[in-house]
Amino acid sequence: MLPTILITLVLMWQCVLLGYTYTLAGNAADEAVRAATAAAGDAAGACEQAGLSDLPSAWQKDATITCPPGAPGYVTADVKLEVPVLVPGLIGFPIPVTGHAAAVREVKD
């Protein structure tokens, strides 16, 4: 019975890490696009820096934050994070979790 309980706990922990990574990706995308909407100069740089700032260090090293130009007057941010395998910071699944956000630009260039 003990192996069954341990396997169940490991699978549940992996599901928790997957859900937490989705939450982190969405929040990082929101923070990134919020910073880019208010940036007057280098919106892409502000976007990437803000997206990385709130991520835990275990997720920062493999994070990819892009701020492609959206439609006129809009700012978008895409975040890709790797889901860690059991222990954050060691190895991750090869399939990334993505987060996307968009907002109206507040500052005219």
Give per-10-residue mean pLDDT for the chain (109 aa).
94 94 94 83 79 88 84 86 86 87 75
Tokens of 8: 């169940």
Contact assessment for residue 80 and residue 95, using Cβ atoms and an 8 Å cutoff = no
The per-residue pLDDT for 106 is 72
The per-residue pLDDT for 4 is 95
The per-residue pLDDT for 95 is 84
Global confidence as pTM = 0.84
The per-residue pLDDT for 42 is 67
* Boundaries of every domain in the chain: 2-104
Q: Is 62 left (phi over 0), alpha (psi -120 to 50) or beta?
A: alpha
